Structure 1
Amino acid sequence: MANNFNSEHLVEHAWKYFILHSTQRMTLFNYFLFIMAALGAGLGAILQASNKLEYMGVYLSFFVVIVSIIFWKLDQRTSFLIKQSENVLIDLEVRLGNGIGIFCNEENNLSEQNSNRFSLNKIITYGKIFRFTFFITGTVGVMGIIMFVLKILECTPAS
């Protein structure tokens, strides 16, 4: 069977794959933020309510941890798929030698931009930002579990 793909078709195919999964990644993160906002509102309401809802606080805090882990794993998968298309686009840029180099020069350009910046001012990747967010929300969930369990066991000082 003859190969009917020319360079333009290959670039278009890889680009569509990249767009599909990068859009999917941002959509997943938006859903994550929406779910965390709802869970945070629920936890805030439980904290302000009477002591009868502590078990619900443990449940919601546990759910925060589970949702953080699930979305972290989903982000790992979509990140892998995005990297797949980036690698193909890098290979095509190099083989076609069109001088654009958007994908094949990105890592060097990022390093160059960050070389004279202080740590908090460095440009970081979406992946690092997302992983940090998943870690923080998961940690808050674990702290919520501990706090509500201590309240249930009455280990906190009386107010």
Structure 2
Amino acid sequence: MADRALGEALRRPGVLFLDDAQRLSPPLLDYLRLLWDEPGTAAALLLFGAGAERVIARAPALRSRVLTWHQVPGLGQERLAETLAMFHDVWEGADPVDVGWADATVARGNFRTWARITSHVYALSKRCRDVRVDRVLMQACARLGPYP
């Protein structure tokens, strides 16, 4: 049933993003290849992750279907505050210097950490008025668990 639902979803134009592709097992990579070999598949598959290229290289049937490889550099500090504001509106108006400090000291360029911080700031903003996103709040939210 899940195979059928996934197959139907992939017949529509779109993109399926898979992060941590380096953790996918060879049988799962072969399953992905079979899905994309199905006639009528209109979606694109993007595999991400540090070392994903090594895992895909060990799956020759999938590797032969790779159209392009890209190395994506980390997001520069000058664009981080702007990017976070596009990610979620809790970051609108945040001081770029504070965001840069938090990235250097607590998030260390990890977008999952930023997603966790965002989740906690958002939950707080729903409970309190006039939440000021500053270094102290970002550092505190980074230390909390994954769910508010």
TM-score scaled by structure 1? 0.23
Higher-helix-fraction structure:
1
Higher-strand-fraction structure:
2
Rg bigger for which structure?
1
TM-score scaled by structure 2? 0.24
Q: Which fold has the larger relative contact order, with Cα–Cα distance below 8 Å and residues 6 or more apart in sequence?
A: 1
